């Protein structure tokens, strides 16, 4: 009985660390879910979309932008050497297409495309968007309202559709936790979401823009370091239903390669205290699963972790109840892919038809 209570106390303490890491997701409404905020003028905003073989995704994003109550100054799609109809699709929706120059030595495709897009933009604010994202009705206005200068990065709501996509659960959680902006103890972002970046042009150029992080896959973390060193304020938010995306819709293979290419590197950039809390939290989940063999204590802790995960996951994506209930499955998948990412750091992986070195 004594050992069971000791294990229960340890597991409970580790369970609490989950709220220390991501508790702010539950205790407040995200800014992009509310209409409160500053000015939402869109006429000064240039939207820049790096796109490589995105003929399937662009109609969704560009269609959502066309339906917004606020219209940006311009929409620029940088065609990064696509072999499909990316450029034709972008023009059909009225976007300005910039054909990327050949990829220079030392650059990544995305950073090179973003840098060229910024050079072609004329707005005072630059909004960089991944091509697999989209806005809900009036979503652009809500996001712009929450920008009060400096840098705003919004993590999109994950539109999970097929069962295998549920395996991204812990990657989404760890990506959000790694920002360091949603814990009860951490409020200053350690990183920026890669899917959306809104910044004043002057601040962007002040830190050297994407040219200063040209060789990085996780350019969002590297840019966060540049902004932080320059004293430019940063804020991370969650898109709620205003801003969403769908990751890796082409199958498990794409999902594995996508998360492999830089996830371990991103984890390495997470602060020491925050990383310790995350490890304790994940360790508690493993412990609770093992404790199922110990009767009511194990069942209690397993249920608490499943409920906690359910509450957190529903804030960041359309994850099913069974993903939380059967959480050891996506947790094991996360650990295996993380190990794969770590083991391949510095080696080449294939992504969108290019051989790239994994960060």
Q: Tell me: do 107 and 232 sit in the same domain.
A: yes
Is residue 289 one of the residues assigned to a domain?
yes
Last residue of some domain: 235, 262, 289?
262
Last residue of some domain: 262, 294, 314?
262
pLDDT at 230 (0 to 100): 95
Q: Tell me: do 62 and 148 sit in the same domain.
A: yes
Is residue 43 one of the residues assigned to a domain?
yes
Q: Which domain holds residue 295?
A: 2-25+270-346
pLDDT at 93 over 60: yes
- Number of helices and strands in the chain (H, E): 15, 12
Q: What is the C-alpha to C-alpha distance for residues 166 and 323, in angstroms, rounded to an integer?
A: 7
Name the average pLDDT for the chain. Answer: 87
In this prediction, residue 187 has a pLDDT band, given cuts at 50, 70 and 90, of low
Return the CATH number at 60.
3.90.550.10
Q: What is the C-alpha to C-alpha distance for residues 199 and 266, in angstroms, rounded to an integer?
A: 22
Q: Tell me: do 127 and 214 sit in the same domain.
A: yes
Task: Note the pLDDT tens digit of each residue in 8-38.
Answer: 788 889 999 999 999 988 875 544 444 444 4
pLDDT at 31 (0 to 100): 45
Last residue of some domain: 221, 240, 262?
262
Is residue 358 one of the residues assigned to a domain?
no
Number of domains in the chain: 2
Q: Tell me: do 65 and 190 sit in the same domain.
A: yes
Task: Note the pLDDT tens digit of each residue in 138-166.
Answer: 999 999 988 988 999 999 999 999 999 99
Cα–chain center distance at 92: 28
Contact 281, 14 (CB under 8 A): yes
Helix (H, G, I), strand (E, B) or coil at 50: strand
Q: Tell me: do 212 and 305 sit in the same domain.
A: no
Interaxial angle between packed helices 2-22 and 169-178, expressed in degrees from 0 to 180 and rounded to the nearest 10 = 60
Q: Tell me: do 331 and 194 sit in the same domain.
A: no
The pTM is what?
0.86
Contact 182, 20 (CB under 8 A): no
Mean pLDDT of 312-320: 95
Q: Tell me: do 211 and 324 sit in the same domain.
A: no
């Amino acid at each position: 009985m004594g050992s069971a209570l000791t294990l229960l106390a340890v597991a409970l303490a580790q369970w609490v660390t989950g709220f220390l890491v991501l508790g702010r997701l539950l205790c407040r409404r995200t800014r992009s879910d509310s209409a409160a905020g500053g000015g939402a003028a869109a006429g000064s905003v240039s939207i820049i979309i790096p796109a490589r073989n995105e003929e399937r995704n662009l109609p969704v994003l560009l269609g959502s932008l066309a339906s917004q109550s606020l219209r940006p100054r311009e929409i620029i799609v940088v065609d990064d050497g696509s072999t499909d109809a990316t450029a034709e699709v972008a023009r059909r929706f009225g976007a300005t297409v910039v054909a990327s120059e050949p990829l220079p030595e030392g650059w990544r495709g995305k950073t090179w495309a973003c840098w060229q897009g910024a050079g072609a933009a004329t707005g005072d604010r630059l909004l960089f968007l991944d091509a697999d994202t989209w806005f809900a009705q009036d979503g652009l206005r809500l996001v712009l309202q929450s920008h009060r200068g400096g840098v705003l990065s919004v993590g999109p709501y994950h539109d999970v559709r097929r069962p295998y996509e549920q395996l991204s659960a812990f990657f989404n959680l760890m990506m959000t936790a790694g920002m360091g902006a949603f814990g009860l103890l951490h409020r200053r972002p350690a990183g920026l979401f890669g899917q959306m970046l809104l910044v004043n042009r002057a601040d962007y150029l002040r830190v050297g823009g994407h040219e200063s992080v040209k060789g990085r896959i996780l350019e969002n973390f590297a840019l966060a370091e540049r902004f932080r060193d320059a004293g430019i304020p940063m804020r991370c938010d969650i898109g709620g239903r205003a801003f969403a995306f769908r990751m890796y819709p082409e199958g498990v293979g794409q999902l594995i390669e996508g998360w492999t290419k830089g996830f371990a590197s991103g984890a390495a950039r997470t602060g020491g205290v925050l990383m310790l809390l995350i490890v304790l939290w994940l360790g508690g989940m493993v412990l609770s699963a093992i404790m199922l063999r110990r009767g009511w204590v194990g069942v209690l802790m397993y249920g608490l972790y499943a409920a906690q995960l359910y509450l957190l996951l529903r804030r960041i994506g359309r994850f099913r109840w069974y993903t939380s209930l059967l959480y050891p499955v996506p947790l094991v998948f996360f650990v295996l892919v993380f190990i794969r990412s770590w083991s391949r750091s510095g080696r080449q992986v294939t992504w969108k038809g290019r051989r790239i070195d994994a960060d």
